[in-house]
Amino acid sequence: MSDLVGVGVGRGISVASVLTMPEPLAPPSDEPLAAPVDAEADRVQLALQQVADELRMRAAAAGGEAQEVLEASALMAQDPAILGDVRSRMEAGANAERATWDAYAAFRDMLTSMGGYMAERATDLDDVSQRVVARLRGVPAPGVPESSEPFVLVARDLAPADTAMLDLTKTVALVTQDGGPTSHTAILARSKSLPAVVGVVGLLDAVTDGQVAIVDAKAGTVVLDPDEASVAAARAERDSRARAASAPITEGALADGTKVPLMANVGSAKDAPGAVELGAEGVGLFRTEFLFLDATSAPTVEEQTAAYVAVLEAFPGKKVVVRVLDAGADKPLAFLNDAHEENPALGLRGIRALRASEQILRDQLTALANAQAATDAELYVMAPMIADREETEYFVSLGKELGLERVGAMAEVPSIAVVADQVLEVADFVSIGTNDLTQYTMAADRQLGTVSAMQDPWHPAVLRLVKMLGDAGSSAGKLVGVCGEAAADPALAVVLVGLGVTSLSMSASAIADVRAELLTVTLEEAKQRATRALAATSAAGAREAAAG
C-alpha cells in the first residue's frame, strides 16, 4: 500500500481499479508535401470545421461551465490565424499533418509563454490539435478508455472535451499528473461533483492499469493497492460524505450557528437558475467579461442593463456582487488595452485600464445603477485589481456619483491587504480573489507547470494577507468575502472563516460540500485551525496543521 499526494478537488472519496488515458498521437512524419497546396489546405479546413462542429455538439450536450469551455475550444479550431499558418508551412514544403501539428505547437508555446489564464488554455489547444490531426489521418482521436466496470481515470491531464463528457456511472474519480486547482480539469471535475486529485508528481510512473486505488479528494491523496480494511473504511466514508453532501439545503452556517453565506460565482444570466437550485444564497462574483470579450467595441448601456437585470431578477432580495470589466493581461480587449505591453500582467489591466478609458467604466456603472433600480436584489459592485486607498476612493466616488448604493474593491494585489484599514475606511466591502492574490503574492503564474508548487492559496503568506483583510473588515464593521477558487476547498473554507472572512463564493456545484464541512466546526474551532495554518512554513504544512 502506497500513498501519492496532490491537490484535492472537492471532498468526495472513491475506490475502484485504475485505467490510464491512452498516449497522444505520435508526431507526424517529415515527408514533404506531395499533393497540391490548395487541395491540402481545403482538407485541413474541412478537418478544422469538423472538429469545431464536434466540440460545439459536445458543448450543447454538456451545458453549464463545460459548455463555455468547449465552445472556447471550438473557436480555437476555427482561428483563421491557425489556418493561415498551416498554409504557409505547406507552401514551404511541409505535409498537411506536420504543418497542422507545428502550427498548433507554435500557438501553444506562445500561450504558455504568456502565463496566467492563457497558459491554462495550452492543454485545451493540444486537444484541438490532436483531434484535427486524427481527422487528417482518418483515425479516432485519443479519448477516455471504455470499461464495463467503474474505474479511476488516470491521465497526464485531461482535455475539456473529455472531462465534460465523462460517463459518471463508470468514471468514479479522476487523478492527473499535471494541472492545479484552477485548471479546466479541476473546474469541470468540481462542476460534476467528481472526486479528483490533480498535480500528483510522478503519477504515471507509479500506477499500473488494474491497480485498486482509493482517491480521497478531501485529503488530496491516492492510495494504491490498499488492504481490505482500508477499502472498507473508504467505502463507509464515501457513504457518509455522500449523505452529508445531499442533506437538505440550508443557509451556510457553522456548528454553533454562526452564519456564513454561501454564494455562487457566475459568468452569465443563464448560470443563475442552476446556482439557485444548488443552494446558492446569492452571487458572490458575477463576471461581466462575457459582454465584452467577443466585441469590437464596448456594448451599449442598454445592452448591459438588460444583461444585469436578467441576473439580478434571479436573486430577489439576495446579495449579488458584480465585478466590473476585468480586462488586460490574459484577457486583452482591442478597444481597451495596449496589445504591446512587455509584461501585461503587471501593466494596464483591471481598474487601471478602466480608469484610462473612463467612459467605458461610466457606461458600465450607469447600466448597473439602472439594473439596481429595476430589481429587488441587493447589488454590490466592485472593481478588479485595486491596489490602495487612492484607487478605492476613485472607484467608490464614481460609483456613488452614478447612483450605486454599495461599492467596493476586489483584493487581488498584495498591497491592498497591507493597507486594508485605509481601504475599508472608503470601500463598503472587500471581496478577495484568491486566484490572483496567490499568483501575485508568490510571483507565480497560475497553471505554469514550472512554478506549480508555488500556486497554492494554502501558503501562509497568502493566508496572512487574508487575515489582514479580515481583521480590517472586522474593525471597520465591513463585509470581507472570498470569491476565488479557494472558497470551493472545504477544508480551506473553514480556515478562511477563521481568518475573518464573512462569506464564501464558489462554483455552485461546490456549495454542498462546503456547507457540510462548515457544519462540523464552531467559530472558535475555525479560528484555531486558522491560527495553526498561519504558523506553518509551507502550503503543505498549513494543510496538515489545519487538519491536525
List Cα–Cα distances, 12 to 19, 135, 140, 239, in angstroms. 19, 37, 32, 10
Residue with cell 491587504: 417
What distance, in Å, lies between the first and last C-alpha atoms of the chain?
Answer: 23
459 is catalytic: no
Instruction: Give the number of other CB atoms < 10 A from CB of residue 429.
Output: 23
Tell me how crowded residue 169 is: count the other CB atoms within 10 A of its CB: 7
Contacts of residue 505, defined as CB under 8 A and 6 or more positions apart, other chains included, come to 262, 263, 264, 265, 283, 284, 285, 321, 431, 481, 482, 483, 487
Residue listed under C-alpha cell 467503474: 150
| DSSP assigned state of 32 | B
Given a contact cutoff of 8 angstroms between Cβ atoms, the answer to whether 386 and 423 are in contact is yes
DSSP of 227-291, one letter per residue?
-HHHHHHHHHHHHHHHHHHTSPP---B-TT--B--EEEEESSGGGHHHHHHTT--EEEEEE-GGG
Within 323-423, where are the H helices? 351-356, 358-374, 389-401, 414-418, 420-423
CA distances to 31, 83, 88, 201, 348 from 37, in Å: 14, 12, 10, 44, 42
Secondary structure (3-state) at 184: helix
Q: Which cell numbers hold the place of 201?
A: 508528481
Instruction: From the candidates 89, 131, 184, 323, give the one annotated as an active-site residue.
Output: 184
Question: Which residues, 6+ apart, have CB-to-CB distance to 342 below 8 Å?
Answer: none
How far, in Å, CA of 424 to CA of 122, rounded?
38
Cβ neighbour number for residue 351 with a 10 Å cutoff: 26
Which one is catalytic: 9, 198, 222, 483? 483
Cβ–Cβ < 8 Å for 43, 151: no
Residue in this structure with the C-alpha cell 504543418, named with its chain if needed: 99
**How is residue 146 written as a grid cell?**
471504455
Is 483 in the active site?
yes
For 3, the grid coordinates are 500513498
Catalytic residues: 184, 483
